[in-house]
Amino acid sequence: MYQVGVIGDRDSVMGYRALGMAVFEAVDPQDAAAAVDELVKAHYAVIFLTEALAEAIAPHLQQYRDRRLPSIIPIPSIQGSTGFGMRQISESVRRAVGIDLFGHDDQQADSRQTDHPQDDVEES
């Protein structure tokens, strides 16, 4: 059995305690990075991380990207979404396709890509 961890500022993450997740409070990126390392060592399957922190330590998280576990997922903090999670999806698309199919902010790709052969796969 694998556990699920949450890392973020107190207000954003305290609710998850009621769901049975392991909650770790972190305010500055260093703490968050240390907490992530800790949880990876403890074989957590899923680590939810507030978007702001995830963005701040994105280079650090890169090393876990190609591992099967853990799955490190940015979630919006209590202040709301910064769009980092969505940007990360675009990043995946960019890596796979070589170009940015879905466009940067959540808006669907605009006309500059209409002549691309992959065009028919654009909309979900």
Partner 1 sequence: MARKQINPNRMELLKLKRQLVTARRGHKLLKDKRDELMRQFLDVIRQNQALRRRVESLLAGASRQMVLARAVMVPQVLETALLAGRASLSLSVDTRNITSVNVPVFTAPFALSGSLENLPYGLASAAGELDQAVTALNQALPAMIELAEVEKTAQLLADEIEKTRRRVNSLEYILIPELKDSIRSITMKMDENERGNLTRLMKVKDMIVSQALEKARLADAAAAREQA
Interacting residue ranges for partner 1, rule: CB under 8 A: 1-4, 11-12, 14-22, 45-46, 48, 65-66, 68-69, 71, 73, 75-81, 85-86, 88-89, 92-93, 95-98, 102, 121, 124
* Residues 6/13, Cβ–Cβ less than 8 Å: yes
* Residues 39/47, Cβ–Cβ less than 8 Å: yes
Identify which of residues 30 and 65 has a Cβ nearer to partner 1 in the complex: 65
Question: Shortest distance, CB of residue 96 to partner 1, whole angstroms?
Answer: 4
Identify which of residues 8 and 56 has a Cβ nearer to partner 1 in the complex: 8
Identify which of residues 31 and 91 has a Cβ nearer to partner 1 in the complex: 91
Three-state secondary structure call for residue 120 = helix
Question: Shortest distance, CB of residue 120 to partner 1, whole angstroms?
Answer: 10
Q: Which two tokens stand for residue 118?
A: 């992959």
Question: Shortest distance, CB of residue 111 to partner 1, whole angstroms?
Answer: 20
Comparing C-alpha atoms, which of 2, 10, 89, 11 is closest to residue 46? 2
Element holding 48 (H helix, E strand): strand 46-50
